[in-house]
């Protein structure tokens, strides 16, 4: 019987390389297109979501923030982070990570996407 070890799994290496490339791309975009103080404030607000800040408070902050006017790639990175945070909150509550509500109900991610998109795409 052979044990499955990640360092021998070619898919694990491919995924690790993909994650590293994606992180490098995001770092480059943020360095070129986002003000570090604004981005740090976004990260702090996102961290408070589910730990004191309600979804409505976070969405109000998001609407008034720099993000609706930010570069499309910066908004895409932010939406990815919001989706990851929403998944973590669902898991902490014992729910399934990708279990978005059925319409007409909504979620933080769906509302954030609506705030940061125009005509169904990032501006």
Structural domain boundaries enclosing 47: 35-122
Average pLDDT over residues 30-48: 93
Share of residues in the chain with pLDDT > 90 (%): 44
pLDDT in tens, 80-104: 999 999 888 888 888 776 666 666 6
Q: Which residues pair with 117 in a beta bridge?
A: 122
Contact yes or no for 29/71 (Cβ under 8 A): yes
Within this chain, do residues 40 and 66 fall inside the same structural domain, yes or no?
yes
For the ranges 3-12, 30-39, 44-53, 69-78, the lowest mean pLDDT is seen at 3-12
pTM of the complete model beyond 0.85? no
Q: Among residues 78, 70, 88, 84, which one has the least CA distance to residue 112?
A: 78
Query: In terms of domains, do 40 and 81 share one?
Result: yes
Q: Is residue 1 predicted with pLDDT exceeding 80?
A: no
Give the number of C-alpha atoms closer than 13 A to the C-alpha of residue 97, restricted to the C-beta side.
Answer: 6
Closest alpha carbon to 79 in 52, 64, 59:
59
Q: Do residues 55 and 86 share a domain?
A: yes
How many domains are there within the chain? 2
Q: Indicate whether 70 and 112 sit together in one domain.
A: yes
Q: Same structural domain for residues 111 and 94? A: yes
Q: Is residue 86 domain-shared with residue 27, that is, in the same domain?
A: no
pLDDT of 39 above 80: yes
State whether 109 and 51 are in the same domain: yes
């Amino acid at each position: 019987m052979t044990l499955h070890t990640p360092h021998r799994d070619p898919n694990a290496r491919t995924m690790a390389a993909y994650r590293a490339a994606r992180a490098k791309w995001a770092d480059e975009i943020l360095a070129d297109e986002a003000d570090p103080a604004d981005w740090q404030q976004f990260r702090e607000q996102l961290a408070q979501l589910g730990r004191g800040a309600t979804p409505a408070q976070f969405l109000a902050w998001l609407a008034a923030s720099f993000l609706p006017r930010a570069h499309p790639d910066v908004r895409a990175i932010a939406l990815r982070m919001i989706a990851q945070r929403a998944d973590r909150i669902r898991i902490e509550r014992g729910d399934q990570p990708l279990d978005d509500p059925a319409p007409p109900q909504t979620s933080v991610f769906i509302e954030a996407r609506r705030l940061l998109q125009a005509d169904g795409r990032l501006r």
